[in-house]
Structure 1
Amino acid sequence: MAITTPEPTRLLDLTRLVSRAGRPMTGVDRVEFAYLDNLLQHGDLWGLVRSSLGYVLLDQAGCAALRERILDQDWGPADRLSKLRKGRHPVRRQAETYLRIICHDRCLPLRLSRMLARHLPMGVHYLNTGHSNLTERVLSALRLRKARVAVMIHDTIPLDFPEYQRPETIAPFRAFLGRTCAHADVILCNSRQTADEIGRHVPGPLPDRVIAHLGAPVPHTGNAPKGPWNGPYFVCLGTIEPRKNHALLLDIWPDIPDAHLLICGNRGWENHDVFRRLDSKPERIHELHDLPDDQLFALLQGSAGLLFPSFAEGYGLPPIEAAALGVPVLCNDLPIFREVLGNIPVYADASDRYLWQTTIIEMADQQRTGLSGTQAFIPPSWDEHFKTVLTLI
């Protein structure tokens, strides 16, 4: 007779998802949501959120209710208490109001240890996937519960490429990585590349590192929005920031005959020259933002290809999602894409403008002649990811 081991009580940090309520989900947000969605099906789940006014603890029912609100964004009105902190996104205020209504308990920061002790068993398993809220206060409270701590590191880009980061984010990330390596029992790595980079940045003994590729389900597509583009068009998907290297595409597009470029993403930081060029409305280049996922993926599916000249990526979901849809991919030659996608994309060094130009022209011609497409690709699944992760945490 098979002996089954009961699922541990788990505490999932949901601070990042709540802090970004009302904004389009980033890749890291999607990972935190995938953990919420999956762990609701595996034993006793609790959620911890650091809000503007202290900590909020959600039980299983509260975690399920939060999941539904994230999907439908129907948070309800903000209360007066949520307005005490100025400068917060209005939807975040609504979300924090909602959490205070549904929470199992809440407390001021100084009482976090007592709150966890009231509700969580010794040896609780804590998971942090959002690079948020892994503070000394939280770690101290977890140590008192003899918690097993797992932290996901998505990348080490702030240390590898500081020139592409806001200067004020580099030191906090270094401290976060140091706390993770000092206190975590398990480090969850989305790739071999990330695991190797952690070892390079943190000398000495490290916690166990487990490599589990992130799930990338085949995207659901709806009706593509209409626009002034016609004939072959290409999609560039991602936040408009220096690391994503939109400047390369703006430089070469006047020499791409007839084809249109759809830049899909919100504007980021310190990219003033690119913003200025986009504001000038260059011919056959269209900036789109805040599209629902089904419309975005419908646009991608109808395109001649995804263009992804990013200088650095921790995982890089857009090329994986495009390949899952059978859309050709042209991307910078980065190790993470070789690891996950193999020979599916066309690789071109981001410094080789002529190669990018000629390859894009060839991809446009292939779509015109009906020869566009790529070999079959089965993306990594969340089932595979959690089969690996949940044996450890």
Structure 2
Amino acid sequence: MKIVIDARFTRTDHHDGISRYGSSLIAATSKLADVTMLINDKRQLALLPDVPYVMVNSPLSPLELFVARKVNPLGADVVVCPMQTMGTLGRRYGLVLTLHDLIYYEHPTPPGFLPAPVRLLWRLYHKAYWPQRLLLNRADIVATISRTTESLIAKYKLTKKPVRIVGNAPQPGQTPRNPTDGADKTLLYMGSFMPYKNVETMIRGMAGLHDYSLHLLSRITPQRRTELEALVPAGATVHFHNGVTDAEYEELLARATALISLSRAEGYGLPLVEAMALGTPVIASDIPIFREVGADAVSYVDPESPAAFASAVAELGDDTLWQQRSHRSVERAAEFNWDESARQLLAAAEEVVALRKR
């Protein structure tokens, strides 16, 4: 089977969630099938596996409406896009489109890296569900990464097409830390600083954690940093790293007491699984997707309560409990892997081929 996977959402300098998902899925699927990537910038190749590729237009270009004209000659049985926005006019191939989450219906602020006209369209798009239905119903199968999002797709009747899980996973080859080595009194956050990420609660919670330091690892705009610095309690230690390499991230995780994520909404929560794979306990907001991903390995708290966050950190100060959580975290993370995701994708692709033969 020949599969074309759209890699045009890959970043050119560092991965975000969609970028890493697509790259990892391509790497795993290429071990099982004939895979070709679509890219629009050769700089993307630095973050992609060594797989054949074809250059086409940017997914943000007006030419995206007609991208099928460039994809049709590739002879793909199935084309897979890690988003739901790929142009389909005149397509002659099977198509899997992906919907990761419904975050932006409740929290409509668009990512800041998008061009201004796209940000305006983004806001308009998320004011109603019918545009999403139009996009998803162009596919033969809709993929998503979690049972939580699958249930929301059904709740809001977003598509008449079959919905299949193609899961997310941590990076392979990570060596878990030795729980008996203990941990530094450091707390880590990896993620954006958009309002729904709720970084404010963890910063306020540091008021009662003077023995700990909070490390905010992701890139941040000067304006947003100024806003958050104003919230740091007196006597608290909060470090803004403004970006770290993968190696630096892994090194910090291997020493930390916990990774923190107090998001009000998420599509999956990849940093949770990345931390758990290394044996680093997680403190997370008590929302359905985190319960699905973390099961009984995670400490869940009210995302609106700085005191609940601080209490969860204090509990992990008990060495016995910390070691138990570290061990269970590794067990839970092992249940997610890219080889299984690739098998899920191939099963969906085979289903698409069968559907198109009817």
The alignment's TM-score, normalised by the length of structure 1, stands at 0.71
The reply to whether residue 126 of structure 1 matches residue 79 of structure 2 is yes
Query: Alignment RMSD, CA only?
Result: 3.7
The reply to whether residue 16 of structure 1 matches residue 9 of structure 2 is yes
Distance 1:278 1:387, change over 3 A: same
Q: How does 1:1-393 map to 2 (within 5 A)?
A: 7=1, 9-17=2-10, 20-22=11-13, 24-50=14-40, 69-70=46-47, 103=54, 109=63, 112=67, 114-117=69-72, 119-121=73-75, 124-131=77-84, 133-134=85-86, 138-142=87-91, 145=92, 147-162=93-108, 168=120, 169-172=122-125, 177-202=132-157, 206-217=160-171, 220=174, 232-267=185-220, 271=224, 274-277=227-230, 283-364=236-317, 366=319, 373-375=326-328, 376-377=331-332, 378-393=334-349
Q: How many residues align?
A: 327
* Offset at residue 38 of structure 1 (A): 2.6
Distance 1:334 1:218, change over 3 A: farther
**Secondary structure at 1:10's aligned position in 2?**
strand
Which runs of 4 or more aligned residues in structure 1 lie more than 4 Å from their structure 2 counterparts after TM superposition?
65-68, 102-108, 110-114, 163-167, 173-176, 268-273, 278-283, 367-372
Contact 1:333 1:349 (C-alpha < 8 Å) held by counterparts: yes
Distance 2:98 2:266 in 1: 16
Contact 2:276 2:326 (C-alpha < 8 Å) held by counterparts: no
Distance 2:225 2:295 in 1: 35
* Offset at residue 263 of structure 1 (A): 1.0
Distance 1:335 1:250 in 2: 23
**Secondary structure at 1:141's aligned position in 2?**
coil
**Secondary structure at 1:390's aligned position in 2?**
helix
Contact 1:322 1:328 (C-alpha < 8 Å) held by counterparts: yes
Which fold has the larger relative contact order, with Cα–Cα distance below 8 Å and residues 6 or more apart in sequence? 2
* Larger CA Rg, structure 1 vs 2: 1
Opposite residue 21 of structure 1, the aligned amino acid is T
Opposite residue 167 of structure 2, the aligned amino acid is H
* Offset at residue 293 of structure 1 (A): 0.8
Distance 1:179 1:151, change over 3 A: same
Contact 1:218 1:325 (C-alpha < 8 Å) held by counterparts: no
Superposed CA offset, 1:71-123 (max 9, x none): 69xxxxxxxxxxxxxxxxxxxxxxxxxx9xx8578899487555444x333x7
Superposed CA offset, 1:53-76 (max 9, x none): xxxxxxxxxxxx98853269xxxx
* Offset at residue 202 of structure 1 (A): 3.4
**Secondary structure at 1:342's aligned position in 2?**
helix
* Offset at residue 170 of structure 1 (A): 3.1
Superposed CA offset, 1:263-294 (max 9, x none): 11112698476344279997411111321112
Distance 2:292 2:301 in 1: 16
In the other structure, the counterpart of 2:356 is: none
* Offset at residue 210 of structure 1 (A): 0.8
Contact 1:315 1:336 (C-alpha < 8 Å) held by counterparts: yes
Contact 2:203 2:232 (C-alpha < 8 Å) held by counterparts: no
Task: State percent identity of aligned pairs.
Answer: 20
